[in-house]
Structures are given as C-alpha cells and as structure tokens.
Chain A
Amino acid sequence: MEDTALFTYCMRLADDSAILSQRLAEWCGHASHLEEDIALTNIALDLIGHARELYTRAGQIEGKGRDEDALCFHRVEREFNNLLLVEQPNDDFAYAIMRQFLFSAFMHPFWEAVMNSKDEQLAGLAAKAEKEAAYHLRHSAEWVIRLGDGTEESHNRINDALEFLWMYTGEMFECDDIVSSLVARDVAIDPMSIRHLWDETVNTVLARANLERPAETWMQTGGRKGEHSEHLGHILSPMQYLQRSFPQAQW
C-alpha cells in the first residue's frame, strides 16, 4: 500500500461516521415524536453517505480489493478506529442529543477546514459534508438549549449526559504521527487548529442552555488504536449480522 497514513485517516473518519450512524439508526421508530424520528434518521443517512465515500476511498488506497462493505462489515472490534464518543449508548434521548452536539460542533469546522485539503477527493467530500454537518449542529444545539433551559427533569438529564460524555471529548483533538504526517502534506488538518471554534460553539450553546461547562478532567482515549468501551461489540453484532451470515450479499 502506497499511502498507509491516508488509508488510516480515511478509515478513522469512516468508522466515526458509520458507528454514529448506527447509533442514530437505533432511534428509528423510537424517538419522542415522528419529526424527531425522521430528523435523527436523516442525520444517520448523511453519515452513511460520508462513511461510504471514505470506506470506498480507503479500499482504493489499500488496493487489496476490499470495498465499502468489506471494510465496514467484515472487521472485528479491535480493527475499528472510531472515537469512543460515537459508540456511547442511547441510554436517554438527552445522551443521544449531547453526543451529537459535541461531535457536530467539532465536525462542522473540521469539514470546513478539510475543504482546503490537497487531497482532491477528501476536499470534495468535505465540501458536501460541511453543509450537512451545519444542519446536524443546528438541530442538536437547539435541543441542548430546549432541554437545558426546559423543566427541572430535562435540565437534569441533559446535564447528566454532558457530565458523562465530557471525558470522551479530548480524543477528538488528539494528533498522532499519522495525522501529523498528513498535516505536513496539507492533506489533513491539525485538530487543535479548530479547538477554539469548538470551544466557542460549546460555550455559547451551554450558556444559553443554562448548563455549566464541566471542569477539565482526565480524558478517555483508545478508540484510534482499537481499544474500545464494551459497547462497540454490541453495536457491531446487529450491524454486521447480515454480511456475516450472507457474505457478499448485495441489494
């Protein structure tokens, strides 16, 4: 493989999108009301779109004939490199909303910056994903405010979600040798370069939601190295069932 770094970078981003998409899809038929059901699954659909592009690209770079299905459905837990944040469970609607908000507040400026990547395919996907991420951010931010500034019950639940998920936010800003080597080639971006934008969005929305930003704490890490929480296996099991049972099945 010629470009191991770019392969890994595409796989990480693809895994983030695929796993969060699966989590959101779990709301199908279960959300609080029809419009919200449709909203969450629409976001899931956008994320599937991003994942498909990225897996396909990664497969081409690898050059071993693995397509999007092979990469998404025929790898085991330890081979997945998604952020721990996106695999956290839907224990409560507030958790799903806060997870989406913390992620989208990062992904929107991320895609916007990647539009300038020297890698044309990545830049092309970024130009589309940026527009979609803007809607994901707006949707989740409005919910954070509505819940935080709502009843005592909704405030407590979204606050619990914020306090629980906060320790998973540090991983978004990690920059290892793989990312650094791509930053040097103007292919990837240094996540710390958009930290101030994430902080600004998070602080603005939390203030409007009457929520207090959690104190800096020890941050969980491991997803990028394939070290996951117990939840990932339980996501992969239903997600990969069809391809495991009927390999190479096509629509």
Chain B
Amino acid sequence: MAVAAKILRSELDQKAWDAVCDVPDPEVPVLTIEDLGVLRDVHVQADGAVQVTITPTYTGCPAMSMFAFDIEAALLTAGFKRVDVKTILTPAWTTDWLSEKAREKLRVYGIAPPNGKASHRALFGEEQVRCPKCSSANTSRISEFGSTACKALYRCSDCYEPFDYFKCI
C-alpha cells in the first residue's frame, strides 16, 4: 500500500494522487490501486501533464491496460489535460504491500488475504489458509491457480464454502 502515499508531495501532486488513488481493481473491486500498491507515483510536470507510475501484480496481468484507461479517465475528469501512464517492474510487486485495512476488505469480500510475509517457499508444502466465511483453518487447496493470476482456489472443509485465496508473493 501506501508506501508511496506517505511521501510528502506538492499540493498539485496530491490533488492528482487523490483523483486516481480510488481507481478500483477491475477483478477485485473492493481494492483500489492504492490499497494494492499498484500505484507507485503521481507527478504533475511543469507543462501540466500528469505522469502516473504503476507496477503490475503479475507480469502478464491483463488488468494493466484497464488500470491505465481508468487512471486517465479519472485525471481528465478531475480537470487535468494530459496524462502519461508509465509501467515499471522494479521494485517487484509483493503482497507485503497490502495494508491490514486492505486485507480486512478482502476477507469481508470473501477472499482469504495473503498469509504472512512473502518469502522463499519450498517446492512442496501446503499453506495454512483460513476460510474467509467461518474462519476455520480446516481448508484444502483445489487449485494453485484461480480466477485471476493473483489468486488460488481453496475449499473450506467445515462450512464447505469454496473460496479464493490471494496468493502470497
């Protein structure tokens, strides 16, 4: 999240940031690009053009062009005249950037938030994932890959609810 948000910005930069920070993820609409940490920087240049820097969650994430489109629309609506959306890969996005608030939003929405910190994983071994509906830890993985690149598919063995797990990377 808002690692970048804490940096002191000029009033104009802040106005531009405020205009775009609530752009939702098209796949996980309870999270904004600020919650996700996809929004890295917003800067209004001397000629009035806004340079927005974003980073993808996964390299092939198809939501990126949607983000760019929505960001441009949000800034034009807010009165800015020109927008340039730049994509960077470094530093590599990590679920560690999701705030506690963002994790809670995911849980309420029915998606199990990422577990703990991203670190090197063993080739095998299950992650302990709690059911977002009934909080049971008695769950099992159905598939390593879910409805989007960032999610895996799980099932709760107590309430039998199938649910998405936001993978920890």
List residues of A whose CB falls within 8 A of some B CB: 35-36, 38-39, 42-43, 45-50, 52-53, 120-121, 123-125, 127-129, 131-132, 134-135, 137-139, 141-142, 201, 204-205, 251
Of B62, B123, B153, which one neighbours A35 at CB under 8 angstroms? B153
Q: Is B128 in contact with chain A by the CB < 8 A criterion?
A: no
Contacts A124-B92, A127-B90, A131-B169 given; indicate if A38 touches B145 (C-beta within 8 A): yes
Given A45-B58, A47-B60, A50-B60, 13 more pairs with CB closer than 8 A:
A35-B153, A38-B143, A43-B145, A50-B59, A121-B89, A124-B89, A124-B92, A131-B92, A132-B58, A135-B145, A138-B124, A205-B123, A251-B65
Nearest chain B CB to A60's CB is how many angstroms away? 14
Return the contact of A53 from the options B59, B65, B142, B153 (Cβ within 8 A): B59
Q: Once the chains are docked, how many angstroms separate the CA of A18 from the CA of B60? A: 12
Looking at the complex, which one of A128, A139, A205 makes contact with B92 (CB distance below 8 Å)? A128
Q: In whole angstroms, how far apart are the Cα atoms of A53 and B64 in the complex?
A: 13
Residues of B within 8 A of A (CB): 56, 58-62, 65, 88-93, 118, 121, 123-124, 142-147, 149, 153, 167, 169
Question: Complex formed: what's the CA distance from A46 to B107 in Å?
Answer: 26
Instruction: Say whether, besides A35-B143, A39-B143, A45 and B60 are in contact (CB < 8 Å).
Output: yes
- How many Å lie between the Cα of A36 and that of B118 in the bound state? 25
Cα–Cα, bound, A45→B62 (Å): 8
Contacting pair A138 B123 (CB below 8 A): yes
Pairwise interchain contact A49-B59, C-beta atoms closer than 8 A: yes
Asked, given contacts A35-B153, A124-B89, A124-B90, whether A49 binds B147 with beta carbons under 8 Å apart, the answer is: no
Chain B residue, CB-CB nearest to A38 = B145
Contact of B60 among A49, A134, A204 (CB under 8 A): A49
B144 to chain A, nearest CB (A): 5
Known: A35-B142, A35-B143. A46 touches B58 (CB 8 A): yes
Per a CB cutoff under 8 Å, which of A43, A49, A129, A141 touches B61? A49
Residues of B within 8 A of A204 (CB): 123
Chain B neighbourhood of A251, CB < 8 A = 65
Check B145 against A39 for contact (C-beta < 8 Å).
Answer: yes
Shortest CB distance B29–A (Å) = 20
Q: How far is the CA of A121 from the CA of B62 in the complex (A)?
A: 21
- The residue in chain A whose Cβ has the minimal distance to the Cβ of B125 is A138
Q: Which residue of A50, A124, A204 has the most chain B CB atoms within 10 A of its CB atom?
A: A124
